[in-house]
């Protein structure tokens, strides 16, 4: 089903075009930009020597050919691993690691700094949705390093008359409160796996600007989206991969869809 849009729903590539290429790799993010994604979603963790890297899990076991916790490894340790070896490229014909990149760089660990460079060189506006992972042994340091890096790229304080190209997301209200206190103009997204009883009326924790419910919340409690909108909050839904879920998000008027399949969702929305 193709939709005529009354408002443009932002399509956010979840860990890059992660259905077509290994998640959180340069390959996945380049594919997402090529496919036309409006924004890129990434998870960030802090290495033992203080670098922010784009890795979802606490440990690298699932997504690389190595083992160990990200927080206990240095960047050089992570750089020696292959974060694409676990994916079968035969099952993902759109993933071509030979397209103009050395395979090592294409599937090596991706630093947030490198991702920011990729976005700045994209040739069009591509936003970033950066999720801080918790709990962590580096309490508070993740947000501190993140804001320092954004400051280096001039992204920590967007102009008052322009929407921010970066937003910070977390399941941790404490993390978002830290970000809001240090960089009050940066949008923050409070991610939810379930609706807390104290927030059922549409409120969000202090320091949160945007609601980020999972698609299961949207399916099971569609009326909650209306309450969030009545409370003045935008709604960004994760992870929306199935056509019927895209249809549901369109009917409910959400502002952003976070998906592993940005090209397919853009096509369904009539934007390709």
Which sequence positions are flagged as catalytic? 14, 56
C-alpha dist (Å) from residue 52 to 127, 170, 214, 246: 18, 15, 25, 32
Which residue reads 């992870």 in tokens? 239
Closest Cα to residue 92, out of 171, 43, 28, 48? 28
Tell me how far the alpha carbon of residue 217 is from its chain's centroid. Answer: 18
Other beta carbons within 10 angstroms of residue 86's beta carbon come to: 14
Q: What is the DSSP letter of 69?
A: B
Q: Pairing mode, if any, of strands 52-53 and 39-46?
A: antiparallel
State the angle between helix axes of 173-182 and 141-152 in degrees (0 to 180), rounded to the nearest 10. 40
Q: How many Å apart are CA 99 and CA 96, to the nearest integer?
A: 6
Other beta carbons within 10 angstroms of residue 168's beta carbon come to: 28
Q: Which residues pair with 256 in a beta bridge?
A: 10, 236
* DSSP alpha helix (H) spans, the chain: 26-35, 75-79, 103-107, 112-120, 141-152, 173-182, 215-220, 222-230, 243-252, 262-268
Closest Cα to residue 164, out of 211, 121, 126? 126
């Amino acid at each position: 089903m193709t939709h005529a849009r009354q408002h443009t729903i932002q399509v956010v590539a979840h860990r890059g075009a992660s259905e077509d290429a290994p998640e959180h790799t340069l390959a996945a993010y380049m594919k997402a930009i090529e496919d036309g994604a409006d924004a890129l979603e990434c998870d960030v963790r802090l290495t033992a020597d203080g670098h922010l890297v784009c890795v979802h899990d606490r440990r690298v076991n699932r997504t690389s050919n190595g083992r160990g916790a990200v927080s206990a490894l240095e960047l050089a340790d992570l750089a020696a691993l292959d974060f694409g070896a676990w994916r079968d490229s035969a099952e993902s014909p759109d993933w071509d690691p030979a397209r103009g990149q050395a395979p090592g760089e294409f599937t090596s660990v991706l630093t947030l700094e490198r991702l920011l460079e990729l976005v700045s060189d994209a040739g069009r506006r591509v936003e970033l949705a950066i999720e801080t992972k918790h709990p962590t042994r580096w309490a508070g340091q993740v947000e501190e390093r993140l804001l320092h890096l954004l400051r280096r790229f001039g992204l920590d304080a967007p102009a008052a008359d322009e929407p921010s190209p970066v937003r910070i997301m977390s399941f941790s209200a404490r993390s978002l409160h830290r970000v809001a206190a240090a960089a009050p103009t940066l949008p923050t997204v409070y991610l939810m796996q379930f609706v807390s009883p104290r927030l059922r009326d549409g409120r969000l924790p202090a320091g949160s600007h945007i609601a980020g419910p999972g698609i299961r919340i949207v399916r099971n409690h569609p009326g909650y989206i209306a309450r969030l909108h009545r409370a003045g909050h935008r709604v960004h839904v994760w992870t929306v991969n199935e056509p019927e879920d895209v249809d549901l998000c369109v009917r409910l008027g959400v502002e952003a869809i976070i998906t592993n399949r940005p090209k397919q969702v853009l096509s369904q929305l009539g934007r390709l």
